[in-house]
Amino acid sequence: MTATTLESAVEEVARPVRPTPARIPMSRIVSVELRKSFDTRSGFWLMASIGILAVVATGATILFAPDDALTYGNFAAAVGFPMAIVLPMVAILSITSEWSQRTGLTSFTLVPHRGRVLAGKALVAVLVGVVSMLLAGLIGALGNVIGTSINGVDPTWNISALEFGYIILGNLLGMAVGFMLGVLIRNSPGAIVAYFVYSLVLPTVTTVLAETQEWFADKQPWVDFNYAQGPLFDGDISGQQWAQLGVTGLFWLVIPLSIGLWSVLRSEVK
Amino acid sequence: MIKVESLTKQYAGFTAVDDVTFTARPGRVTGFLGPNGAGKSTTMRIMVGLTPASSGYAEVSGRRFADLPNPGLEVGVLLDASAQHAGRTGREILTIAQRTMGLPAGRVGEMLDRVSLTDDEADRRVRNYSLGMRQRLGIATALLGDPDVLILDEPANGLDPAGIRWMRDLLRGYADRGGTVLLSSHLLHEIEVIADDLVVIGQGRIVAQGTKAELLATAGTLVRTPDVHQLAQALTSAGVSFTPSAATGSQDALRVDADPGVVGRVALDAGVHLVELRAADGAGLEEMFLELTADTQRETLTEGAAA
Ligand SMILES: Nc1ncnc2c1ncn2[C@@H]1O[C@H](COP(=O)(O)OP(=O)(O)OP(=O)(O)O)[C@@H](O)[C@H]1O
Ligand SMILES: [Mg+2]
């Protein structure tokens, strides 16, 4: 009972030969991934929370900030805080849900190159990050106009386009960290917890270390990725600080991201 | 056409798929059988690139799965119907697949009709789907791109009797129009009715393959006696080979590789009292399956008679 006896017994039934289909274009992968970030209740509300939290933060600033604190810089800081938490979650969940919800079984068979699916997700993350930041910036600006006119003071516009660009970059780095933890851990709760350790616990530890250990204080900008991102949010970053961002980013982002991508590409999806 | 060549998959010292080679042909339904943990799902996952093979390869329509430009249009895959985002509606899941494949939007509604999911059901979240509804949705996803090849892991799982009948007709129709169908199932009756070719696997290795007709026509005699042990001894000394048979569901039967006349003679000479003696052809798939996989079964059904 080998394949040969099987062969002889088979009468071939021809099916009309169809032309080879075209390769799935990247634009389609991106649009499908974008749709996938909105089409569940949790995904939808996560996205909606970006706008909602920006409005809440702006409202709170109008209500509680003293008159002289009603500057665009303060509105931007208030709005930026929830962004820095929600946007990385968007990046994390877009990756981990393929494993936690096991949708990867379909996603990675319909597009049999995991790298292309991940590239689509990365592009969607950048798109969502930039659009959210622009939206948040706009909501903050409206808050600045409304807040100052309610309180009868002149609006202060103390953030330049360049500074705003740095802030967007800082948030995109946060999303990249989420993306990195997503591909490395591939489990939603695990990656979310890891993100908070990475972005809240770790900086606390390094701050304490820098305050108590002199030898560390000098080296901190060159080893602490969170610290090195600080200048982006302060709106001014020197050449040396760019170098520090690059060096720390290599170790805290690029290398673990490469390991994560490599393991996603060769792991088993089930 | 699906071609699997010397496929092997090892997990940390354990071989789940061991040098598996077979071909599923166009116009045929190929049944993939084996006990739990035999390696069917693993083989299928390797075919579609979800699990990397340790060695060997699988080809679909003459190409490695990863080289298919738009796999959904060439291969319909259903591996696990519950592997879906619980928070999406059935319609949304089909829409995502339809968009990925670049098909017209109307295709989603057609497929929902085809698998008999109502509009109301299609708009429910998959979290609230019954097992059979998930299965239907999975089948709809597999059929969406009107592929030439279907790879289905236990597609009848959870379907009601009407659903199973529908599934059978659907797959038959698919193969008759020149499609290649590979399906695994534990529902041996279903496989027996629908499959043209069989591949039987046990502990990762192929134990038999061929057309259903060939495999089921294994000649021989089925003999039943309360004194299996003595008959076995008599047959052995007569130089006739036999295997324990599970045909009767108990341990009192043997399948002998000889004509009933020979077996009757041996029994008479040995003074063994028979309760049944007949040609074993027409032995069902179940018996064949249990015999072929006897060494690899968890439950040793035929133990005792093996002496
Ligand atoms: N990641 C893994 N690590 C170790 N062993 C694994 C892994 N994945 C699968 N196996 C083992 O490989 C074997 C084959 O599993 P598989 O799911 O292919 O069986 P199956 O034939 O589909 O069984 P069933 O009929 O129950 O669906 C099992 O023993 C399983 O435990
Ligand atoms: Mg299985």
The domain that holds B276 is classified in CATH as 3.30.70
Q: Are A125 and A175 in contact (CB under 8 A)?
A: yes
Tokens for B197? 């070719």
For β-strands B242-244 and B221-224, DSSP reports them as: unpaired
Q: Are residues B140 and B224 in the same domain?
A: no
- Same domain, residue pair B89 and B135: yes
* Domain of residue B131, residue span: 2-209
- In 3D space, the residue among B38, B54, B34 whose CA is nearest the CA of residue B46 turns out to be B54
- Cα–Cα dist B84/B154, whole Å: 16
- Is the Cβ atom of B298 under 6 angstroms away from ligand 1? no
Residue A270 counted as domain residue: no
Non-local (6+) Cβ contacts of B186 within 8 A are B154
Q: Is the CB of B37 under 6 A from ligand 1?
A: yes
Distance CA A189, CA A199 (A): 15
Q: Check if A36 contacts B (Cβ < 8 Å).
A: yes
Tens-place pLDDT, residues B67-114: 999 999 999 999 999 999 999 999 999 999 999 999 999 999 999 999
Same domain membership, residue B204 and residue B104: yes
CB A141 within 8 A of CB A75: yes
Query: How much distance in Å is there from the Cα of B246 to the middle of ligand 1?
Result: 26
Mind telling me how many Å the CA of B60 is from chain A's nearest CA?
13
Do residues B123 and B91 lie in contact, with contact meaning Cβ atoms separated by under 8 Å? yes
Amino acid letter, A153:
V
Q: What is the pLDDT along chain A (270 residues), one digit of tens a residue?
A: 444 444 444 445 556 677 889 999 999 999 999 999 999 999 999 999 999 999 999 999 999 988 888 899 999 889 988 999 999 999 999 999 999 999 999 999 999 999 999 999 999 999 999 999 999 999 999 999 999 998 888 888 989 999 999 999 999 999 999 999 999 999 999 999 999 999 999 999 999 999 998 888 888 999 999 999 999 998 889 999 999 999 999 999 999 999 999 999 999 999
| B83 interaction partners in chain A (CB closer than 8 Å) | 101-106
Q: Tell if the CB–CB gap between B179 and A15 is shorter than 8 Å.
A: yes
Higher-confidence residue: B246 or A122?
A: A122
Note whether B121 and B27 are same-domain residues.
yes
Total tally of structural domains belonging to chain B: 2
Range of the domain at A132: 25-261
CB neighbours (10 Å) of residue B261? Answer: 10
CATH code of the domain covering residue B164: 3.40.50.300
Task: Tell me the pLDDT band of B50, cut-offs 50, 70 and 90.
Answer: very high
Q: Which of A210-219, B189-198, B274-283 shows the lowest per-residue confidence on average (mean pLDDT)?
A: B274-283
The reply to whether ligand 1 has any atom less than 6 angstroms from the CB of B260 is no
Give the pLDDT confidence of A25-82 residue by residue, as tens digits: 999 999 999 999 999 999 999 999 999 999 999 999 999 988 888 899 999 889 988 9
Residue B38 CA, ligand 1 centroid: distance in Å: 7
Burial of A47 (0-12, 13-18, 19+ CB in 10 A): middle
Residues B57 and B153 placed together within one structural domain of the fold: yes
Which chain A residues touch B150 with a CB distance below 8 Å?
Answer: none
Residue A38 belongs to a domain: yes
Measuring CA to CA, which residue among B183, B186, B192 is closest to residue B151?
B183
Question: How far apart are alpha carbons B289 and B307 in whole angstroms?
Answer: 20
User: Coil, strand or helix: which one is B152?
Assistant: strand
Say yes or no: B71 and B196 in one domain.
yes
B28 shares its domain with B146:
yes
Verify whether ligand 1 is closer than 6 Å to residue B250 (CB atom). Answer: no
Domain-embedded: residue A6: no
Between vectors from CA A142 to CA A139 and to CA A145, what angle results, nearest 5°?
Answer: 155
Tell me, yes or no, whether A13 lies in a domain. no
CB contact under 8 A, A110 and B52: no
Starting from the CA of residue B16, give the closest ligand.
1
Asked whether residue B115 falls in the same domain as residue B181, the answer is: yes
Note whether A88 and A177 are within 8 A (CB). Answer: yes
Determine the distance separating the centroid of ligand 2 and the alpha carbon of B185, expressed in angstroms.
9
Compute the Cα dihedral for B27, B32, B33, B36 and give only its sign: negative
Distance CA B75, CA B55 (A): 23
pLDDT-derived band at B302, boundaries 50, 70, 90: very low
Question: Is B304 part of any domain?
Answer: no
User: Chain-wide mean pLDDT for chain B?
Assistant: 89
Interface test with B, best of A8, A20, A109 (most B CBs within 10 A): A109
Structure tokens at B285: 């798939």
A267 lies in some domain: no
Query: Which atom of ligand 1 sits closest to the CA of residue A268?
Result: 1
- Whether residue A109 and residue B48 make contact (CB cut-off 8 A), yes or no, is yes
Looking at B178, B209, B240, which one is the last position of a domain?
B209
Instruction: State whether B279 and B196 are in the same domain.
Output: no
| pLDDT at residue number B294 | 76
Which ligand has its closest atom nearest to the C-alpha of B17?
1
Residue A48 within a domain: yes
CB proximity list for B161: less than 8 A, separation 6 or greater: none
Structural domain count, chain A? 1
| Residue B293 included in any domain | no
Query: Does one domain contain both B69 and B180?
Result: yes
Q: pTM for the complete prediction?
A: 0.86
Q: Flag whether residue A15 sits within 8 Å of chain B, measured between CB atoms.
A: yes
Let me know if residue B191 belongs to a domain.
yes
Other C-beta atoms lying within 10 Å of the C-beta of residue B300: 10
In a domain, B67, yes or no: yes
**Which of B88, B100, B177 comes nearest A32 by C-beta?**
B100
Pair B253, B224: CB distance under 8 Å: yes
Alpha-carbon gap, residue B237 to B231, rounded angstroms: 10
Q: Does A241 fall in a domain? A: yes
| Residue A239 domain-assigned (yes or no) | yes
Instruction: Give residue B50 CA to ligand 1 midpoint distance, Å.
Output: 14
Where b means 16+ CB within 10 Å and e means fewer, A75-86 reads bbbbbbebbeeb
The answer on B256 and B182 residing in a single domain is no
CA distance B223 to chain A (A): 25
CA distances from A141 to A12, A51, A138 (A): 70, 14, 5
Q: Are the Cβ atoms of B69 and A21 closer than 8 angstroms?
A: yes
CA of A176 to the centre of ligand 1 (A): 35
pLDDT recorded at residue A153 = 86
Return residues 15-44 of B near A (CB < 8 Å).
Answer: 21-23, 25-28
Based on the domain organization, do B113 and B138 belong to the same domain? yes
The answer to whether the Cα torsion of A88, A91, A94, A97 is positive or negative is negative
